[in-house]
Amino acid sequence: MHFLHPGQWLHHHMMRYLSISNRALIQIIKPKPGRNGKKLVSDFDGEVPSDIDSLLTIPGVGRKTANVILAVAFDTPAMPVDTHVFRVANRIGLTNNSKTPLQSEMELVKYIPESMLTKAHHWLILHGRYICMARRPKCEICGLSQWCKYYEKKGRPSLNMTAPYF
């Protein structure tokens, strides 16, 4: 993928994916003197690399951002692990009490079919935002409760049909 300005290409793809404000995104990806923009031009001839090792050499690009770029821009199977994915995967038992996002990523990639990785990532994010929330998970309406380690450990609550779900 060739582009004139590193920030323009990333801006388009990351804005769609991350659901953050335009100003915040520009601060993250705008080329900084001697940093990511120059590196893309000097080391990669103005092309965003399509492999994780090369992406990780760019200043300001961590493992999650590299995986997002691979999944969204290059349609490559990847599992970006953010706060929601890390927490939810540990909570429901998809990972075996991973201590780091990298451990979670490695376990999830091992067990989720390649064709489902990007979708599974989005499902875990949404599940963590709206059902399996950090402080008050909504176990009583969760479709995964019969397989969930957290639900099994904390005991099966009675359904509270009077409480609002959302």
- 110-129 burial code (b ≥16 CB/10 A, e <16): eebeeeebbebbeebbebbe
Q: Which residue has the tokens 């099994």?
A: 152
- Rounded to whole angstroms, the Cα distance separating 59 from 158 reads 50
The residues, ordered by sequence, that sit 6+ positions from 127 with a Cβ below 8 Å of its Cβ are 84, 88, 144
Catalytic residue (choose from 64, 75, 119, 149)? 64
Q: Is 64 an active-site residue?
A: yes
Q: Is 45 an active-site residue?
A: no
Catalytic residue (choose from 38, 82, 138, 149)? 82
Give me the active site residues, please: 64, 82
